Copies of this chain bind each other. A is one copy, B any other.
Amino acid sequence: MKSQQQQFAEGVLFTDFYQLTMAQVYHRMGIHESKAQFDYFFRSYPDYGIHQAGYCVNAGLETFMDWVSEAYFKESEIDYLRNLKDANGRAMFTPEFLKYLQGQSVATGLTLRAVPEGRVIHPYVPNAIVEGPLIFAQLIETSLLNHLNYQTLIATKAARIYESGMGQAMLEFGLRRAQDRSGFAGARAAIIGGAAGTSNVGASAVLGYQPSGTHAHSMIQAIVAMGGTELDAFEAYAESYPDACILLVDTYDTLNSGIPNAIKVFEKLKAQGHKPVGIRMDSGDLAFLTIQAALMLNKAGFPDTKIVLSNQMDELVIWQIITQIKEESARYGLDADNLISRLAYGVGTRLITSEGDPALDGVFKLVAMQQDNAWVPAIKISENPEKTLNPGYKKIWRLYDQSQKAIADVLSLEGEDLCHLEAIHLHHPTDQTKQRVLNCAQISKVEKLHETILEDGKLVYEFPTLEQIRQTRADDIQRLHSGVRRLMNPHNYHVSLTDKLWNLKEELIFQYTNGTKG
């Protein structure tokens, strides 16, 4: 696809066809401007197989809003829709409907409340609530899901990987395995989740980060094939980048060739007044090789040079390497904490694709329609109680205990104010036997989670910088109990409904299952 086609394919037509067919039905029925409310939420944390997330990191909002700001039904889009025919040659869309759409922004009349990027989020808590004309609320669904699902998925994976590295630099290297042009969004989400930067040059440029990377095996191989040696290649690299010199040492033989050659180059750099940055290893038993590399570098007088590890890194591999270093360092006379603190990680495929669970199951569900200025809850009864919606217009709260740790996210009805209650009666979203009462003395803070992003179609939110979003993420993860942050088998964070919301849901389920509705 050429870039001109991209703008056409990824503007307002970046959507599923049924959004448009439904839009026409709404228009024909005259309910298209009736006010609707849709909730965006996910149902389960990513589960990577042998380990699973206990929290997610919210991301993608600004990227989605960039799309919204450019998503108009321009003449070219209307022309395309006008020419669509059904199998019998009948036009799919009527002139009246297309006339209505023409020139309209997809955000017309919409109010969007959402959890800011970087915040920790949990299942069933509406991460975004869209309110406004049914037709436009429906028309933004696909793009909203696309942008928020993916970046939240990757920010979550990145946060896990970063946490497993115990605060050391983690770099996003995945563009070659990214799913097409998800590379930008993936890099952005990785930075939100904890990556210090990305190898993706274009994404770095747009995001204002320094791109990361040094050289590949191919540089060594090319120079060797031209009659040179690994050492020649390292020297050539060091001449070009004397103050940013990281050498990849595993092209031929890490311990017998790569590291000794790197040390020779580092000595030369040092003599010239430069500080060598480090080595990178991309194959082999990385825990073992890290210890050996540290011994060799220390002995040569480079106790501070970084050791960058890459090759199918993820939170589990990093955890295993660190565990092994902790167990074995002493035997080699090395200080484990010191060694761990000189590591850095280049993380590719498994981050950018969220390997193990490559999709967040976020959904966008109609929960209420307005009639005569009152909200009528819309509910879909599912055979699976977990899937039955939490109805109606809601507020979202987070409660903190006396140790300033988050203990529950709470969904209430619109009129409720949890800040001024003596005690809060909480219900599990689906299991009526699970209830508890929190009294004021147990709660240090009650926080509203949503910010207003769009108001009646206008952007009313000032987007934070990526650095601010990163700080939000770090703070929020800090405010989780350690059990929730665990790499495997994390504690279940509580998501609860207030009495009033629980009662409304019960009442609606009763009405529907007894046939008085629907």
- A-to-B contact residues, CB < 8 Å: 1-3, 5-11, 13-18, 20-22, 24-26, 28-29, 31, 34, 36, 38, 63, 66, 69-70, 80, 84, 86-88, 90, 92, 134, 138, 141-142, 145-147, 149-151, 173, 175-186, 199-206, 210-219, 221-227, 229-230, 236-237, 239-244, 251-252, 257, 283-284, 349, 353-355, 358-361, 364-366, 368-369, 371, 376-384, 387, 512, 517-518
Contacts and interface: CB of A to CB of B under 8 A. Distances in A.
Given A2-B66, A31-B222, A244-B86, A17 B201 contact: yes
B222 A36 contact: yes
Taking the full assembly, how many copies of this chain does it contain? 2
Contacts of A284: 383
A149 B175 contact: no
Given A16-B199, A176-B141, A225 B181 contact: no
Contact of A213 (B21, B349, B387): B21
Interface centre among A205, A223, A236 (most CB of B within 10 A): A205
11 contacts: A21-B237, A22-B215, A87-B244, A92-B244, A150-B178, A177-B359, A221-B380, A224-B518, A225-B369, A251-B380, A354-B358
Residue picked from A20, A201, A237, most chain B C-beta under 10 Å = A201
A225 B368 contact: yes
Nearest to A85: B210
Contacts of A176: 16, 141-142, 145-146, 149, 364
A24 to B, nearest CB: 6
Given A1-B185, A16-B176, A252-B380, 11 more contacts: A6-B184, A16-B213, A31-B226, A90-B242, A177-B359, A218-B365, A225-B368, A225-B371, A226-B376, A252-B512, A349-B359
A115 to B, nearest CB: 19
Contact of A180 (B186, B387, B512): B186
B353 A10 contact: no
Contact of A358 (B88, B216, B355, B381): B355
B240 A204 contact: no
Nearest to A248: B18
A121 B28 CA distance: 50
A11 to B, nearest CB: 7
B180 A185 contact: yes
A222 B18 contact: no
